[in-house]
Amino acid sequence: MQEEYIKLIFGLKLKQVRAYKDLSLFKLSKLTGLSKSYLNEIEKGKKYPKTDKIILLAEALEIPYDEIVSLKLDKNLAPIAEILQSNLLQEIPLELFGIEERDLIEIISNAPMKVNAFISTLIEIGNNYNLTKESFYLASLRSFQEANDNYFPEIEQSAKNFLKEYLVNSDDSVTNETMEEILKEEYNYTIVYKDFKDLGAAELAKLRSIYIKEKHLLYINSTTDNDQKRFILAKELGYNYLNLTKRLYTFSWASFEEFDQLLNNFYASYFAGALLLPEDKLLKDMQNLFALESHDLSKFQEILGKYTESPETVYQRMTNLLPKHFNIRDLFFLRLSTKVGSNSYKLTKELHLNQQQSPQANETEEHYCRRWVSLNVLKELENQKDDHHEISAQISIYPFNNNQKYYVISSATKDPFNPNYLRSVTIGVLYKSAQRKIKFMNDPQIPVREVAVTCENCGMENCADRAAKPSRFEKNIRTKRLNVIINDFIKEENKI
C-alpha cells in the first residue's frame, strides 16, 4: 500500500475519533502539546507522526496505540479504505484529464463522510447496472477522446512521418506488401495467414489476429476480408512505430489487465486510420463532398469505395476531422448490431463530442426508437438477397429533447465473421452547427423524421413503428401531474 494512502487513513481515523470525542484541533493541541497546524496536516494525510507523537495522540484520545495505527476503518469509512487499499486511484487514468492524485486525496480528507456516501452510491449503481472494470475503463477512454475532440495531432504527424520515411507516395495507398515488408524487416515479425478454425478451438475462429510477443509472431485469420487485414497490419505498425509496449494481443480484444493497454490500443488504431486514410487526402474529398448543393448518397459511397469496403473506418476517421477542420463539434458516432430475423438491437460502440447527443447507450433493456436511420438501414439490408452495402440518411428531430435536430447518415453491412448478424455505423451532426459547413444539408429532398431515444420514454402518439409501450413517459407524466396537485393543495391550505 502506498505511503500516501497510509498517511491518509491515519489522518481520517484521527479526525473521526477527535470529532467523536468532541475535541477541536485547538483542544487536541493543548492536550498533546502538538501544534494546531501540525495536527491539521496529519488529518489531511500530508504528514505521518513519529511513534512518540502517536503515543501522545493515543493517550489524549483515550484509545489503544494499536487501534490508532491500524489500517482498518470503521463501517462509516470502510468503502474509502477498500478503494485506497485496492490501488484503484492508481489504476484510474487521472493524468489524461489533468487531475492530480493528490487532489483527490485532498477532497477525501476534507469531507470523508460525504465522499464515502458518494463512493457507496457509485458502487451501488455499478452493481445494479453490472458496471465492470472494463466498462469503466472504456467509459474513461471515450471521455478522453471527447475531451480532445477525438483529434490527436501528434499521431496524425507520426503517420505522415511514417509515409514520408518509407517513401510511400501521398497520392497512393500504402499496400499490404509494403506494410508486411516493414514489419518483417524493421521489427523482425513473422506473419502467418491461417484459417483460425484449424487452431483447435472454436472460440479462436471469431478472432481476426493473434500476436505472440515472445516470437514476434503475428497470426492473421485468412478468412478475414482484405480491409481487416490492412487494418491489422497498419495497427501493428502503429504499436511499433509509436513504441507502445503495453498492448493487447488479439483483435478483436478479449480482455485487458490495465488501462494503458486499452489506451495504447486506441493510439495504434488511430495511427492505422491515419495511415490508411491520410488526413490531407480524406480532407480534400470531404471538402468537395460538403460543397455540393444537392444531397447525393452515391457521392458519399464513392468516398467510401475509394478507401475501403468497410464503411466503419471511414466513418470513424471523419469523426477525427470534422471537429478539427470544419469546426463541427456537436456530433455522435454509433455502431449497432442485430441478429438476422431479430427485433433486438445492441449498441456496441458510441462516441459523443461536445455534449451528450441523443441517442445514447441504454442500460435498462429498453427498445431503441425504430425511426432511427441506423435501425432502418439494417432492416433494408436484411430484406436484400445479395451481399451489398446499404446506405441511408435523414434529418432527425427529437421533439421530446428540446427539438434538437441532426443530419444523420448510416451504412449497414453483414458481419464478415458472422453472416447471421448485421451491423450499422452512423454519424450524426447537429443541424444548426453544421448546415453552413455542409451545403447539401439544406436540400429539401432529405427525409425528415421525428424520433425519440427509446419507445418506453417516448410520448409520440399513433406511432406505427413503436416496439414497446411508453411506460417511462407515462410514469413521468403521472409524477408531474401529482406534483402539480400537491402544490395546488398546499397553496389552498396556506390561504385558509
Sorting pLDDT into bands at 50, 70 and 90, what band is 77?
low
DSSP result, 9-58: HHHHHHHHHHHHTT--HHHHHHHH---HHHHHHHHTTS----HHHHHHHH
Dig out the grid coordinates for 160 from the structure: 505522415
The CA-to-CA distance between both ends of the chain, in Å, stands at 64
Residue 203: its pLDDT value, please? 81
Report how far residue 274's alpha carbon sits from residue 322's, in angstroms, rounded to the nearest whole number. Answer: 14
Would you give the DSSP letter of residue 71?
Answer: S
Give which of 411, 224, 378, 386 is closest to 304, Cα–Cα. Answer: 411
Dig out the grid coordinates for 106 from the structure: 485532498
Residue 151 has pLDDT above 90, yes or no: yes
* Stretch among 25-34, 105-114, 142-151, 433-442 having the lowest mean pLDDT: 105-114
* Stretch among 15-24, 225-234, 382-391 having the lowest mean pLDDT: 382-391
Mean pLDDT, rounded, for 23-29: 91
What's the whole-number average pLDDT of the chain? 85
Dig out the grid coordinates for 289 from the structure: 463532398
User: Which CA distances in Å does 330 have to 222, 236, 322, 323?
Assistant: 39, 32, 10, 8
- Angle CA(111)–CA(113)–CA(116) in degrees, nearest 5? 105
The model carries a pTM of: 0.77
Residue 109: its pLDDT value, please? 56
Residue 87 has pLDDT above 60, yes or no: no
Whole-number percent of the chain with pLDDT over 70:
84
Residue 240: its pLDDT value, please? 96
- Contact (CB, 8 A) for 252 and 423: no
Query: Who wins on pLDDT, 26 or 137?
Result: 26
Report how far residue 370's alpha carbon sits from residue 181's, in angstroms, rounded to the nearest whole number. Answer: 47
Dig out the grid coordinates for 129 from the structure: 447496472
Residue 317 has pLDDT above 80, yes or no: yes
Report how far residue 2's alpha carbon sits from residue 88's, in angstroms, rounded to the nearest whole number. Answer: 12
Residue spans of alpha helices (H) in 62-152: 65-69, 78-85, 88-91, 101-110, 112-128, 133-147
Residue 82 has pLDDT above 80, yes or no: no
DSSP bridge pairs for 368: 454
Predicted confidence (pLDDT) per residue in 396-405, tens digit: 999 887 888 9
Residue spans of alpha helices (H) in 308-449: 311-326, 373-383, 431-434
Predicted confidence (pLDDT) per residue in 163-213, tens digit: 999 877 766 788 999 999 999 999 999 999 999 888 877 788 888 999 999
H or E segment to which residue 351 belongs: strand 346-353
Residue 71: its pLDDT value, please? 76
Predicted confidence (pLDDT) per residue in 325-335, tens digit: 999 989 999 99
Give which of 334, 318, 338 is closest to 326, Cα–Cα. Answer: 318
Residue 126: its pLDDT value, please? 58
Residue 83 has pLDDT above 70, yes or no: no
Predicted confidence (pLDDT) per residue in 98-131, tens digit: 666 666 666 665 665 565 566 566 556 555 555 5
